[in-house]
Amino acid sequence: MIAVVGSFGLCIGLCGALATTGLWVIAARRTRAAADPRAATMIIAARQAGWLTLFGAALAVAAMEIALIGDDFSLTYVAENSSRATPLLFRITALWSALDGSLLLWLLILSGHSAVLAHRIASLSERSRRPDGAVGMVAAAVVSAVAASFFAVTLISTRPFARVLPAPDDGPGPNPLLADHVAMAVHPPLLYAGYLGLVVPFGYALAALITGGARQNWMTAVRRWVLAAWLCLTAGIALGAWWSYAVLGWGGYWAWDPVENASLLPWLTSTALLHAARRGRAASGLWTVTLAAASFLLVVTGTFLTRSGIVASVHSFTRSDLGPALLVLLLGWAGVTVALVILRGDRLAAAPAPRSTDLLSRGTALLLNNVLLVGLAITVLVGTLVPVASQAWGGPQLSVGAPYYNRIAVPVAFGLLVLVVLGTIGRRRSAGPAALRRRAALPAGVAAVVTAALGLSGARGVAPVLALGLGAAVVTVAGRQVFGVLRGTRPRGWWSRRSAVGGHLAHAGLAIALAGIAASSSWAASSEATIRPGGWVTAGGSVVQLHRVGRHTSDGRTETAAELSITPTGGSTRPATAALTYYPGRSQTVPVPAIAGTWRGDAYVTVLAIADDGSTVTLRVSDEPLVGWLWAGAAVMVTGGLLAFAPRRGVGPVRARRRIEPTAADAIGAAPDGLAPADLPTPVTLRRTWVNRS
Amino acid sequence: MRRLLITVLAVAALAGLGTTLTRALTDGDGSASGADGAQQSTGLLDRPAPSLSGPTVMGGTAALSRYRGKVVVVSIWASWCAPCRAELPVLAAAHDRYRPSQVAFLGIATRDSRSGARTMVTRTGLTGVPSILDTDGSIAIDWGATGVPETFVVDRAGRIRAHRVGAITAHWLDDAVRPLVAR
Amino acid sequence: MTHDATGSRPDRGRRLARILLATLLLVAVAIGLWNAHSNADRSLAARLDSVTSGLRCPTCSGQSVADSESDLARRMRAVAAEQLAAGRTPDQVKTYFVQRYGRQVLLDPPLSGLGLVARLVPFVLLVAGGVIIARRLGRRRGILTGAVFTLGLSAVLVGTGVLGPVIRQSAYPPPTLPAGAAASPTASAQRTTGTHAALEALQSGDARTAEREARGELSSARHGSRRWQDALLVLGLAQHQLGDKQAEGTLQRFLNAAPKHPAAPMVRKLLAGG
């Protein structure tokens, strides 16, 4: 019964998505043919069809969840991925702990985006029916077409609601690594939200190409979608890194694993997109279209690599039949995009040359930012695909790992930090080299002081010292800008100017995170030793003492725990437990690390082996300096992004048709969303821009 | 003109990507590496065998150099390894089958205690084959082994000519040893 | 900003102070960076980490030997640590593992085939980036910025090793742990010095280390002893491999000192062949 409902839901979803696509296409054509009144019915129907698609996906997800929560082992998926002993939370998250179920979550979020976009386009069209509105409709059509293709792939290649008869009594439960920590409830949905948030800019990009939308500022409308997706991606990636470091005991937070790279690639291009799509007509040119399209195509590539099993990764699902279907989907959409770019690319406005001729202006910094980010993305993509290609063409087996990627990523990271400083202190119209020197004095001074202090006090290695110095400079300029904004605000408070603050906060967060990465990579120390109770191990400045070894068995697992006292560098001693947990049902041993940290760094302990009689324990202790700064920096980045998400001051929904008053704050604030006085659009273009802002 | 160039480039890139990924999907199972990236072939194939000597499980000493001029079957095993328990009788039987003047057998008991290894040897009848004790596993690494059981066949000149990961069968052994004996 | 020749005293004083401060900071930064560079961790642990993070654990799904917690990775770390402690260079240790586990145990792509493509991609992108920058920023400044960008980052990449170093699967027999190493790891650490180390270095293609070790042995061994003869032989072979002009003289000295040495015919053939 449940299986039938679920499959039915998927079919509804597919039909709904196809219907939505068709209806939007018809609506767009009728709208372009000069305000055809029948377009209104089409739009209403399209909106309903969008909700229908979402309903179908929700039905499928609900069916699977009911089966999981209710321990209905007649479904193959539940029989393989759940058990009676699994706690409720992890039975719910078992939906996305394996391949078939995670596709259902993917479809839910994708159809959610499609439905929300359909709703917004329909709402806007109700208020004003202009031929220009066709861009939004075509975009909605593209998004629902993407949804339809994913529904089709799911229905054709996988059978999430397959049944097993007779139904077994119990199952082995989800992978123990995925049923251990509450992060499992947050990380995959957040990551999927980030990935699929990029489908809307993709839709608009293709729509702009199809309709030749050179006249509209469609990118301004879409920018908030990009920002939302970027936020979810940043949070998702950071959470994943933290999870692998703190919970899964994989020894590090980033391994340049192919699946991790797959999540990094769209993040890089969407960051580039955020910086390229800032304002004006340049924002809707061919370059931003390419970036927007590339971001989503990279998402699909990443999904393909993760689910097809052709890359060797600790994250990948087991190999399945989904590979060929996803490949067809990827090549299909990539082909469509490339064809559109080639055939219609010249219709889009070419980005005008930057107005400032000064080398050290923000325009130059943005250009270099895009070059660096896209260059890194291409390199990471090549590095990920080269082993696959070498194996596919029968060549020698290659491995591409951390040494290769670090060589490129580290200079790019330094370059980005420098660009943040240059871009923030540079103005669009430079007031002259003297003013520039004045603005540069403080950050340069701070960087110099920090670098010199660290170097002279005996810190090791040029790279981390430079990273900390540059990071301090970035935090300084960001702080100065934020301070300037806050100071210039009317007594109503900074909350109304929060969008101006957001970008700088994100930059500061990035600098803090990069400093944490630099320090924990270069200054880490680790040691392994076999000790008896009472003995201790040191690494760097951390000391770990072993007290007892205990073993206890509970609901399907045997845990052998080492009770320790950990003293991180410069911190106080505290008790902790590191363990090796054995799951006989899956014949898998999972190490559980013990971490004790201060702001100065973590002491990270894992148990490598325990003697059979419990007399000795082999411990691995790592001293990871400043690794906490990575999490703090990521949190600051996300906060900054959330602040930047706020609507621009004075601009709300369509009804607020006020002119923006230039204030002193605008003159000072070099905010990503702020407008310099000379750049204010005229009232006519202002109205047009607002209408298209969805 | 420029558009034609870009079109050609784009089509070529897409075609290349498509073909590569299709091939990766279709023949990923049969290649030298499994889907989990585990390696299946040693780097020492057709190269001189590393030196091998040391105290044996049963209390004597053994060395690969003593068998120069013979074909040598070197088998890495451990008492805690279930497939090894099935494989060692095969080795013992082959030891009896081949003439000692032509084919010699040598074992490496890796990551094992002397008592555990000794028990295994007596239980599987491998007493005729000297097994060198490799407590810390460094000999296994010296031979490029990734796990147990692994078997190497060394020819008369001292080069490794055959290698297998996993338990061997008498059939595989015969196929590997016979051409080297005949040479 | 223009000044007249006679700027007011406080102005000049402030400017002087600023220049002084800037110079002081620059000097401090330079000294600090130099200090940091010379403090760079060259301890055994750091070298071990640099070696193991460049090696891939053969049975794990792509994890490095430094990160992986599997038994094989632990053993590989132990072997690498032992070899580094015995005096081998990180490159030699990597060569050791490449000889046994194949080229794919290195986490760096090789310098041939698709690996070369992977290594060259960043340079191609840098050139493309430079061209894009040059075109977008207009003629003069654009070309300058583009050139600085491309050449500067290329220098950084080359400096950090995008185009090297090359680890070859050597044609020589693999360097082996001396007999009895399994029984006593410390004993092996003692034995991989001197002539043994020189010979192994020679076999793995590292002629410089071989030369250095051989010279050390020559100075410490008694003149005319067997050890001295061996060291002279290895020195000559190392110099020959390096293309050093002294090689012929050294090898001739060896032949004069030890005409009945088992390696003498080989050396004679070498000298005759030139």
Answer yes or no: do A431 and A567 share one domain: no
A173, pLDDT greater than 50: yes
Distance CA B178, CA B144 (A): 24
Higher pLDDT, A357 or A362: A362
Answer yes or no: do A498 and A567 share one domain: no
- pLDDT (tens digit per residue) in B12-21: 999 999 999 9
Any CB–CB contact under 8 A between A335 and chain B? Answer: yes
Chain C contact set for B32 (CB, 8 A)? none
B116, pLDDT greater than 80: yes
Any CB–CB contact under 8 A between C72 and chain A? Answer: no
Chain A contact set for C125 (CB, 8 A)? 375, 378-379
- Residue A116: which pLDDT band, with cuts at 50, 70 and 90? very high
Domain containing A109 equals: 1-180
Answer yes or no: do A275 and A256 share one domain: yes
- Residue A131: which pLDDT band, with cuts at 50, 70 and 90? low
Answer yes or no: do A204 and A323 share one domain: yes
> Where are the alpha helices (H) located in C53-113, listed in sequence order?
71-85, 90-101
**Cβ–Cβ under 8 Å, residues A662 and A678:** no
Residue in C61, C82, C98 closest to B43 by CB: C98
Residue in C25, C31, C117 closest to A456 by CB: C31
In 10 A of CB A637, how many CB atoms?
Answer: 24
Chain C contact set for A314 (CB, 8 A)? 60-63
Q: Looking at the complex, report in whole angstroms how far the Cα of residue B7 sits from the nearest Cα belonging to chain A.
A: 7
Query: Is residue A366 a part of any domain in this protein?
Result: no
What is the percentage of chain A residues whose pLDDT exceeds 70? Answer: 86
Query: Is residue A378 a part of any domain in this protein?
Result: no
Structure confidence at residue C273 (pLDDT):
64
Distance CA A553, CA A85 (A): 14
**Cβ–Cβ under 8 Å, residues A582 and A589:** yes
A24, pLDDT greater than 50: yes
Among the candidates A163, A180, A197, a domain finishes at A180
Structure confidence at residue A10 (pLDDT):
94
- Which chain B residue lies closest to C171 (C-alpha atoms)? B47
Chain-chain contact of B10 with A338 (C-beta, under 8 angstroms) = yes
- pLDDT (tens digit per residue) in A579-591: 988 887 777 788 8
How distant, in Å, are the alpha carbons of A254, A575, C56, C89 from that of C51? Answer: 18, 33, 10, 9
Answer yes or no: do A172 and A58 share one domain: yes
Chain A contact set for B4 (CB, 8 A)? none
Q: Looking at the complex, report in whole angstroms how far the Cα of residue A286 sits from the nearest Cα belonging to chain C.
A: 14
- pLDDT (tens digit per residue) in C204-213: 566 777 777 7
Query: Is residue A369 a part of any domain in this protein?
Result: no
Higher pLDDT, C77 or B68: C77
- pLDDT (tens digit per residue) in A503-518: 899 999 999 999 999 9
Answer yes or no: do A153 and A222 share one domain: no
Instruction: Give the pLDDT mean for A514-531.
Output: 89
Residue in C29, C67, C121 closest to A255 by CB: C67
Answer yes or no: do A209 and A298 share one domain: yes
Structure confidence at residue A18 (pLDDT):
95
Residue A166: asked if its preceding bond is cis (omega within 30°), the reply is yes
A691, two tokens:
């209408």
Any CB–CB contact under 8 A between A37 and chain C? Answer: no
- Which chain C residue lies closest to A405 (C-alpha atoms)? C108
Structure confidence at residue A60 (pLDDT):
95
Beta bridge partners of A551: A560
A568: CATH: 2.60.98
Structure confidence at residue C167 (pLDDT):
54
Residues 118-177 in A contacting C (C-alpha not used; CB under 8 Å) = none
DSSP string, A568-601: -TTS--EEEEEEEEEETTTTEEEEE-EEEEETTE
Tell me, what amino acid is at C195?
T
Answer yes or no: do A490 and A596 share one domain: no
Residue in A367, A465, A609 closest to C32 by CB: A465
Any CB–CB contact under 8 A between A323 and chain B? Answer: yes
Q: Looking at the complex, report in whole angstroms how far the Cα of residue B14 sits from the nearest Cα belonging to chain C.
A: 18
Q: Which of A447-451, C10-14, C112-116, C259-263 is predicted least confidently?
A: C259-263
What is the percentage of chain C residues whose pLDDT exceeds 90? Answer: 7
Higher pLDDT, A340 or A124: A340
Answer yes or no: do A187 and A142 share one domain: no
Side-chain half-sphere CA neighbours of C146 within 13 A: 18
Chain-chain contact of A401 with C107 (C-beta, under 8 angstroms) = yes
Structure confidence at residue A83 (pLDDT):
86
Chain A contact set for B6 (CB, 8 A)? 342
Answer yes or no: do A586 and A473 share one domain: no
Burial class (CB within 10 angstroms; exposed 0-12, middle 13-18, buried 19+) of A67: buried
Query: Is residue A156 a part of any domain in this protein?
Result: yes
Q: Which of A555-559, B7-11, C7-11 is predicted least confidently?
A: C7-11
Chain C contact set for B55 (CB, 8 A)? 183
A603: helix, strand or coil? strand
Structure confidence at residue A677 (pLDDT):
36
Query: Is residue A664 a part of any domain in this protein?
Result: yes
Higher pLDDT, A368 or C195: A368
Q: Which of A95-104, A443-452, A487-496, C113-122 is predicted least confidently?
A: A487-496
Residue C265: asked if its preceding bond is cis (omega within 30°), the reply is no
- pLDDT (tens digit per residue) in A248-258: 877 689 989 99
ipTM metric: 0.84
Residue in A324, A331, A393 closest to B25 by CB: A324
> Chains meeting A at 3+ CB pairs closer than 8 A?
B, C
Residues 355-374 in A contacting C (C-alpha not used; CB under 8 Å) = 357, 359, 364, 367-368, 371-372
Any CB–CB contact under 8 A between B32 and chain A? Answer: yes
Structure confidence at residue C6 (pLDDT):
54
A316, two tokens:
């990948």
Query: Is residue A491 a part of any domain in this protein?
Result: yes
Any CB–CB contact under 8 A between B35 and chain A? Answer: yes
Per-chain mean pLDDT for chain A: 84
Instruction: Give the pLDDT mean for A336-362.
Output: 74
Among the candidates A180, A212, A243, a domain finishes at A180
Instruction: Give the pLDDT mean for A178-191.
Output: 89
- Residue A118: which pLDDT band, with cuts at 50, 70 and 90? very high
Mutate to test the interface with B, among A311, A336, A337, A342 (most CBs of B within 10 A): A342
Among the candidates A310, A329, A349, a domain finishes at A349
> Chains meeting B at 3+ CB pairs closer than 8 A?
A, C
**Cβ–Cβ under 8 Å, residues A419 and C133:** no
Mutate to test the interface with C, among B108, B111, B142, B148 (most CBs of C within 10 A): B142
Chain C contact set for A359 (CB, 8 A)? 137, 141, 144-145
Any CB–CB contact under 8 A between B38 and chain C? Answer: yes
B141, pLDDT greater than 50: yes
Structure confidence at residue C157 (pLDDT):
82
Structure confidence at residue B113 (pLDDT):
85
Beta bridge partners of B33: B39
- What is the number of domains present in chain A? 5
Chain-chain contact of C182 with B111 (C-beta, under 8 angstroms) = no
- Residue A426: which pLDDT band, with cuts at 50, 70 and 90? confident
> Where are the alpha helices (H) located in chain B, listed in sequence order?
2-26, 82-97, 114-124, 138-142, 170-182
Any CB–CB contact under 8 A between A304 and chain B? Answer: yes
A530, pLDDT greater than 50: yes
In 10 A of CB A131, how many CB atoms?
Answer: 14
Instruction: Give the pLDDT mean for C145-153.
Output: 84
Mutate to test the interface with B, among A391, A528, A530, A608 (most CBs of B within 10 A): A391
Chain C contact set for A397 (CB, 8 A)? 102-104
Beta bridge partners of B56: B132
- Which chain A residue lies closest to B31 (C-alpha atoms)? A391
Structure confidence at residue A668 (pLDDT):
38
Query: Is residue A590 a part of any domain in this protein?
Result: yes
Distance CA C234, CA C258 (A): 13
Chain-chain contact of A399 with C56 (C-beta, under 8 angstroms) = yes
Query: Is residue A373 a part of any domain in this protein?
Result: no
How distant, in Å, are the alpha carbons of A194, A282, B172 from that of A342? Answer: 28, 19, 57
- pLDDT (tens digit per residue) in A39-86: 788 888 999 999 999 999 999 999 999 999 998 899 999 988 888 888
Residues 14-33 in C contacting A (C-alpha not used; CB under 8 Å) = 25-26, 28-29, 31-33
A650, pLDDT greater than 90: no
- Residue A664: which pLDDT band, with cuts at 50, 70 and 90? very low
Chain-chain contact of B25 with A331 (C-beta, under 8 angstroms) = no
A422, pLDDT greater than 70: yes
Q: Looking at the complex, report in whole angstroms how far the Cα of residue C65 sits from the nearest Cα belonging to chain B.
A: 13
Answer yes or no: do A534 and A639 share one domain: no
Instruction: Give the pLDDT mean for B64-71.
Output: 87
Interface A–C counts its CB contacts (< 8 A) at 199
Instruction: Give the pLDDT mean for A428-449.
Output: 79
Per-chain mean pLDDT for chain C: 77
Instruction: Give the pLDDT mean for A300-322.
Output: 82
Answer yes or no: do A598 and A635 share one domain: no
Distance CA A59, CA A480 (A): 51
Chain-chain contact of A331 with B23 (C-beta, under 8 angstroms) = no
Listed residue (A549, A547, A540, A563) closest to A621, CA to CA = A540
Chain-chain contact of B138 with C78 (C-beta, under 8 angstroms) = yes
Distance CA A151, CA A52 (A): 13
Cα angle A687, A690, A692; round to 5: 115
